[in-house]
Amino acid sequence: MTDNTVNYRSCMQNRELSWLKFNQRVLEEANCAETPLLERFHFLSIFTTNLDEFFMVRVGSLIDYMQYSSGYFDNKTGMTAAEQLAKIYHACRPLYVLRDETFEQLSRQLSLAGLTYLRMKDLKKSEVKEAEEFFEREVWPVLSPQIIDSSHPFPHLANKALYIAASLKQNDHVVFGIIPVPAAARRIFFLSGEEKRYLLLEDIISYFASRVFEKYEVLNRCVISVTRNADIDTDSGLFDDDLDYRQHMKSIIKKRLRLAPLRLEYQGVMSEEGQKFLRQKLGLEKAQVFQSMCPLDLKYCFTLDTKITSGMKRQLLVQNYVPQPSRMVDSSKSILEQVEQKDILLSYPYESMKPLLNMLQEAASDEQVVSIKITLYRIARQSVLAEHLIEAVENGKEVTVLMELRARFDEENNIEWAQRLEEAGCQVIYGMDGYKVHSKICLITRRSPDGIRYITQIGTGNYNEKTAKLYTDLAILTANQEIGEDAAAFFRNLSLSNLHGEYHDLWVAPVNFKQSILRLADEQIELARAGKEARIQVKCNSFTDKDLIEKLIDASMAGVKVKLVIRGICCLTPQIPGMTDNIQIISIVGRFLEHSRIYAFGVGENTRVFIASGDMMTRNTERRVEVACPIYDPAIRKRLLDMMDILLRDNVKAREQFSDGRYILRTPVNSLPLCAQEYFMQEALKPAAQPEQPEKQPKSAKTERHGLFSFLHRKK
- In tens, the pLDDT along 641-658 reads 999 999 999 999 999 999
> Is residue 339 predicted with pLDDT exceeding 90?
yes
Residue 510 located in a structural domain: no
Cis peptide leading into residue 510 (ω within 30°): yes
Q: Is 531 exposed, middle or buried (0-12, 13-18, 19+ CB in 10 A)?
A: exposed
Report the chain's mean pLDDT, rounded to a whole number.
91
- Quick one: 102 and 213 in the same domain? yes
- Quick one: 226 and 132 in the same domain? yes
Contact 92, 19 (CB under 8 A): no
**Domain hosting residue 341, numbered range:** 335-505
Residue 353 located in a structural domain: yes
Q: What is the CATH number of the domain that holds 312?
A: 3.30.1840.10
- Quick one: 307 and 159 in the same domain? yes
Give me the mean pLDDT over the 473-482 stretch.
98
Cis peptide leading into residue 668 (ω within 30°): no
Which of 316, 345, 379 is a domain's end point? Answer: 316
pLDDT score recorded for residue 203? 98
**Which one is catalytic: 42, 388, 438, 595?**
438
pLDDT score recorded for residue 712? 33
Residue 67 identity (one-letter amino acid): Q
Q: Of 350-364, 386-400, 687-701, where does mean pLDDT reach its minimum? A: 687-701
At 50-76, the pLDDT tens digits run 999 999 999 999 999 988 888 899 999
d(CA 142, CA 155): 17
Q: How many residues does the chain have?
A: 716
Residues 6+ apart with CB under 8 A from 189: 131, 134, 198, 199, 200, 201, 204
Residue 477 located in a structural domain: yes
Q: Is 301 exposed, middle or buried (0-12, 13-18, 19+ CB in 10 A)?
A: buried
pLDDT score recorded for residue 433? 80
> How many Cβ atoms from other residues are within 10 Å of residue 332's Cβ?
5
pLDDT score recorded for residue 701? 33
> How many Cβ atoms from other residues are within 10 Å of residue 235's Cβ?
15
Give me the mean pLDDT over the 546-559 stretch.
98
pLDDT score recorded for residue 465? 95
> How many Cβ atoms from other residues are within 10 Å of residue 617's Cβ?
22
Residue 516 located in a structural domain: no
At 1-42, the pLDDT tens digits run 445 578 999 999 999 999 999 999 999 999 999 999 999 999
> Beta strand 654-657 with 705-706: parallel, antiparallel or unpaired?
unpaired
At 258, the pLDDT band (50, 70, 90 cuts) reads: low
pLDDT score recorded for residue 691? 39
Phi then psi dihedrals of residue 380, to 5 deg:
-70, 155
- Quick one: 190 and 279 in the same domain? yes
Q: Is 345 exposed, middle or buried (0-12, 13-18, 19+ CB in 10 A)?
A: buried
> Is residue 324 predicted with pLDDT exceeding 50?
yes
> Is residue 242 predicted with pLDDT exceeding 70?
no
Runs of H (alpha helix) within 283-351: 301-304, 310-316, 335-341
At 293, the pLDDT band (50, 70, 90 cuts) reads: very high
Residues 6+ apart with CB under 8 A from 311: none
CA 663 to chain CA centroid, nearest Å:
20
Catalytic residue flag (residue 388)? no
- Quick one: 464 and 429 in the same domain? yes
Number of domains making up the chain: 3
> Is residue 437 predicted with pLDDT exceeding 60?
yes
Q: Identify which has the larger pLDDT, 91 or 235.
A: 91
Residue 513 located in a structural domain: no
- Quick one: 430 and 538 in the same domain? no
Give me the mean pLDDT over the 314-335 stretch.
95
Element (H, E) at 455: strand 451-459
Q: What is the CATH number of the domain that holds 673?
A: 3.30.870.10
At 247, the pLDDT band (50, 70, 90 cuts) reads: low
- Quick one: 481 and 592 in the same domain? no
Residues 6+ apart with CB under 8 A from 280: none
> Is residue 673 predicted with pLDDT exceeding 80?
yes
Give me the mean pLDDT over the 564-589 stretch.
98
> Beta strand 115-117 with 436-437: parallel, antiparallel or unpaired?
unpaired
Nearest alpha carbon to residue 162 among 129, 192, 139, 132: 139
Phi then psi dihedrals of residue 15, to 5 deg:
-60, -50
> How many Cβ atoms from other residues are within 10 Å of residue 442's Cβ?
26
At 213-229, the pLDDT tens digits run 999 999 999 999 999 99
pLDDT score recorded for residue 175? 93
d(CA 535, CA 548): 15
- Quick one: 307 and 243 in the same domain? yes
Give me the mean pLDDT over the 112-132 stretch.
95
pLDDT score recorded for residue 235? 52
Residue 457 located in a structural domain: yes
pLDDT score recorded for residue 253? 56
d(CA 34, CA 571): 31
At 234, the pLDDT band (50, 70, 90 cuts) reads: low
- Quick one: 305 and 187 in the same domain? yes
pLDDT score recorded for residue 252? 53
At 412, the pLDDT band (50, 70, 90 cuts) reads: confident
At 150, the pLDDT band (50, 70, 90 cuts) reads: confident
Residue 103 identity (one-letter amino acid): F
d(CA 73, CA 84): 9
> Is residue 706 predicted with pLDDT exceeding 90?
no
> Beta strand 427-429 with 398-403: parallel, antiparallel or unpaired?
parallel
- Quick one: 257 and 383 in the same domain? no
- Quick one: 417 and 490 in the same domain? yes
pLDDT score recorded for residue 526? 98
Residue 511 located in a structural domain: no
d(CA 377, CA 401): 10
- Quick one: 140 and 204 in the same domain? yes
Give me the mean pLDDT over the 543-562 stretch.
98
At 182-220, the pLDDT tens digits run 999 999 999 998 889 999 999 999 999 999 999 999 999
